[in-house]
Amino acid sequence: MIKAVTFDLGNTLLRQDNIDWKKLEKAGFLNHINIFLKQDISKPTLKEWSGKFDQIAAQYSKIAGRYNLEIPVEKIFQTLREYFNIPDAISTHTLLTTFFIPLMNARLLVDHVQDVLQHLSDSGIRCGVISNTIVPGFLAREVLERLEIARYFDFTLFSSDCLFSKPHPMMFDIAMARLGMKPSQTLHVGDQAEKDVVGAQSVGMKTAWINHDRKKVSNKKIKPDYEIFSLNELPALIKKIK
């Protein structure tokens, strides 16, 4: 019997189809340039600032991808502040918050999220979030508050706060510790088989792959315990799991 469900966020609870990453990233950098201009800082230009960000991020990305680490955006902005001699009055926290504001405002729920989470709550099933994101956890949680679903979760775990990212087992182990349940009593729901299914199964959790596009898993060695095509199929699936 399933007593708890953990969810991925992007393309599982939150829409991805409305996100233009490059456009939102540029909007974040423009927020920084506007802050600099208000402080009478004419350099760096948008091209210099965003270009150096991409250069540093690419260096971190090589290591992160190899060891399932999350890219430390806070460290990148700290490095940028030092490189361009940005004054202390403009803090790394300010750069982080203003950079992600356009993305945070663009996040929307996928269909059926509210109804499904309410059903699970009414059924006494505990819920949590296990999500890969470079967005700092405090900002990601604000999105869940704005979308009025934060109250459904016992905990939220973000790779930006945990150092490691899925499929590394660390985030799933932490989730099990917070739930105080056996992995066999929990179900993880996510859209990325290589990250969600592999990571959850590595600690003994059951998995439900949400396959929006009805495609086959690219790696034949990965075998989700269950497969659904829409989130509204989840309550009926849970009832079937013994």
Q: Is there a single domain that holds both residue 140 and residue 61?
A: no
Structure tokens at 145: 């508050």
Distances (CA, A) of 132 to 15, 38, 153, 157, 210: 15, 34, 17, 9, 16
Q: Is there a single domain that holds both residue 134 and residue 182?
A: yes
For residue 143, the enclosing domain spans 4-17+108-240
pLDDT at 130 over 90: yes
pLDDT digits (tens, 9 = 90+) for 23-79: 999 999 999 999 999 999 999 999 999 999 999 999 999 889 889 999 999 999 999
DSSP-assigned letters across all residues of 81-104? HHHTT--TTS-HHHHHHHHHHHHH
pLDDT of residue 218: 84
Q: Is there a single domain that holds both residue 67 and residue 180?
A: no
Q: Is there a single domain that holds both residue 162 and residue 221?
A: yes
pLDDT digits (tens, 9 = 90+) for 180-224: 999 999 999 999 999 999 999 999 999 999 999 999 888 889 999
Mark which of 82, 105, 128 sits at the end of a domain: 105
Mean pLDDT of 160-170: 95
pLDDT of residue 202: 97
Q: Please give the tally of structural domains in the chain.
A: 2
